[in-house]
Amino acid sequence: MDLTVNIGQLKLKNPVMTASGTFGYGEEYSEFVDLNMLGAIVVKGISLKPMDGNPSPRICETPCGMLNAIGLQNIGLKRFLKEKLPYLRKFDTKVVVNILGNTIYEYVKLSKTLDEAGVDGIELNVSCPNVKKGGIIFGTDKKTLTRLISKVRQSVKKAILITKLSPNVSNIQGFSKVAEDAGSDAVSLINTITGMAIDVETRKPRLANITGGLSGPAIKPIALRMVWEASKVVKIPVIGIGGIMNAEDAIEFMLAGATAIEVGTANFVNPGVTVEIINGLEAYLRKKDIYDVKKLIGGMYRA
Amino acid sequence: MSRYFRAKVTDNLPLNSKTNLLFIEPLEQIINPVPGQFYMIETGNSYDPLLKRPFSYFRKTSEGIQFLYAIKGKGTSLMRHFKGGDAINIIGPLGTCYPKPEKDSIPLIVAGGIGIASVFPLIEKLSEKAYVLYGAKNKDEILIPNELKWIVDKLIITTDDGSFGEKGTVIDVLNDFLASHFSLLTSYLIYACGPKPLLKAISEIAVDKGIKGYVSLEENMACGFGACLGCAVKTIYGYKRVCKEGPVFPIEEIVW
């Protein structure tokens, strides 16, 4: 049984990755999951300087999903390198670091330092809907995105470069193409979809930030459609994200064109879900007499 | 032993129109909880609600764990329908506990409403020396009064409308208590759980009078084990996670 997939020159032992912001720095899950089994761990987004995040309430549940406005709270590059990376390195899995900044300079500095520190991949977060500056500005303007990716590309020698795309754009294909042309090794999509909820009793927004990012099974059909669209126009691998709760969901994304997938909100519900998805994927392949998971990629039959 | 385990519901007893006592029996070896800790409980098999709900444990026995929960929203309304034999997924024990009092301090346990669930294991542990002040809106909402009376001698129950115990809020009772126990003031160690406005008022009194203590907080959370960063609470040291650095915090640390 061959579960390996390739993202650029990086070979993953299986296509199951974790979505940034839902898997902490790996440590938080080590009692529930054998981290060695994962295709890759994508850690919580890192910025140059530590960030405090948004006031509470930061999350609220909505039908079949949740809204979050964490505000990119993180410990910053320095502490990540010192306290978190050595721990992650102990495991036989690939480490991808999600990064975010306010300026192109910050992205370049982050990716250069992380590349030199030996991380396997860098995921550019250009799609967080929850902070005023940075992030999303790059992900919703094609010119800025091109400049950002090209600059980062020049500074990264070994690590693969993944651009995480925002669904909050009118044309996902255009942005996928921009990411490919500017030198990304892969695109990952989708980040959360901007949403909001109001408590009618108090007339207050349910999030202190008013708006937040919607995730969970509620967004899966949208994510699947966008992955399908993106994979039709780019040659680089597409990493599917959005409401994946089990192996069947993961397979759907691969059939739609994803080379790998990231599991997000499901980790909160079932901290052992990633390994269950890997096992379920293997069982599916065995049942269908397919011995290479790569055969699933884009394998949807047209009705 | 994993903190993610499966359990069987053995009973789900209504105590009043909006509070139930849930009995569960773990189907595997579990880690023993300490007073103040909590569990994330699955409310159903569907994606709506998606997330587990956090509950302090009420009692741990050799048979299993009991949870006293208020029926408030979609998740707890579904939990009301749990019946004997149902299997559910649970994560826990999670979070910090109420630290043990020092030898010469006098525990003063204050609970408002469903907050009694969180401090109950502590009351059981400190029943000999603790004072317990427990308030709710009315008689119907005073939970397990007989059990409390049986466990602890120094118990003051109060209701807003005076339909049970003393009349007034738990804050009124706390103020009266501290006024009449003036000489020992700084020997008291407060442990409090209840609605946020109550905890805020208690912390103001405690800080004002120089009394040390702990509060147990509640916040929306997705995971319960420190990953989602959703349950942040503002402290004098910056944001902390209710699920990991809490739910029990030193009273003077919280920025209300």
Each residue's pLDDT tens digit, A37-83: 999 999 999 999 999 999 999 999 999 999 999 999 999 999 999 99
The segments of chain B whose pLDDT lies below 50 read none
Q: Select from A32, A58, A65 the Cβ nearest to the Cβ of B2.
A: A32
Sequence-distant (≥ 6) Cβ neighbours of residue A79 within 8 angstroms:
A50
Average pLDDT over residues A200-210: 97
Across the interface, whether the CB atoms of B50 and A56 are under 8 A apart is answered: no
Q: Select from B3, B220, B234 the Cβ nearest to the Cβ of A60.
A: B220
Across the interface, whether the CB atoms of A268 and B3 are under 8 A apart is answered: no
Across the interface, whether the CB atoms of B227 and A70 are under 8 A apart is answered: no
* Cα–Cα distance, B111 to A121 (Å, whole number): 50
Q: For position A142, what pLDDT does the model report?
A: 86
Q: What are phi and psi of A225, to 5 degrees?
A: -60, -45
* Cα–Cα distance, A31 to A267 (Å, whole number): 13
Closest-approach residue (CA) in chain B for A218: B47
B198: closest CA among B97, B118, B94, B105? B118
Secondary structure letter of residue A256 according to DSSP: H
- CA A42, A139, A119: angle at the middle one, nearest 5? 25
Does B148 contact chain A (CB < 8 Å)?
Answer: no
Sheet harboring A193-196: ordered strands across?
Answer: A59-62, A65-68, A211-215, A193-196
Q: For position A141, what pLDDT does the model report?
A: 82
Average pLDDT over residues A218-246: 98
In three-state secondary structure terms, B106 is strand
The CA distance from A28 to the nearest CA of chain B, in Å, is 6
Across the interface, whether the CB atoms of A66 and B222 are under 8 A apart is answered: yes
In tens, the pLDDT along B34-61 reads 999 999 999 999 999 999 999 999 999 9
CB pairs under 8 A between A and B: 92
Q: What is the mean pLDDT of chain A?
A: 95
- With a cut of 80, say whether residue A140 has pLDDT above it: no
Residues of chain A with Cβ-Cβ distance to B226 below 8 Å are: 24, 28
Q: Select from A63, A268, A272 the Cβ nearest to the Cβ of B228.
A: A268
Which residues of A are identified as catalytic? Answer: 128
Q: Which two tokens stand for residue A50?
A: 């530590």
Sequence-distant (≥ 6) Cβ neighbours of residue B255 within 8 angstroms:
B234, B235, B236
Across the interface, whether the CB atoms of B230 and A28 are under 8 A apart is answered: no
Is the ipTM here above 0.85?
A: yes
Does B110 contact chain A (CB < 8 Å)?
Answer: no
Q: Select from B50, B89, B221 the Cβ nearest to the Cβ of A217.
A: B50
A207: closest CA among B199, B216, B230? B230
Residues of chain B with Cβ-Cβ distance to A263 below 8 Å are: none
**Structure pTM?**
0.95
Across the interface, whether the CB atoms of A271 and B4 are under 8 A apart is answered: yes
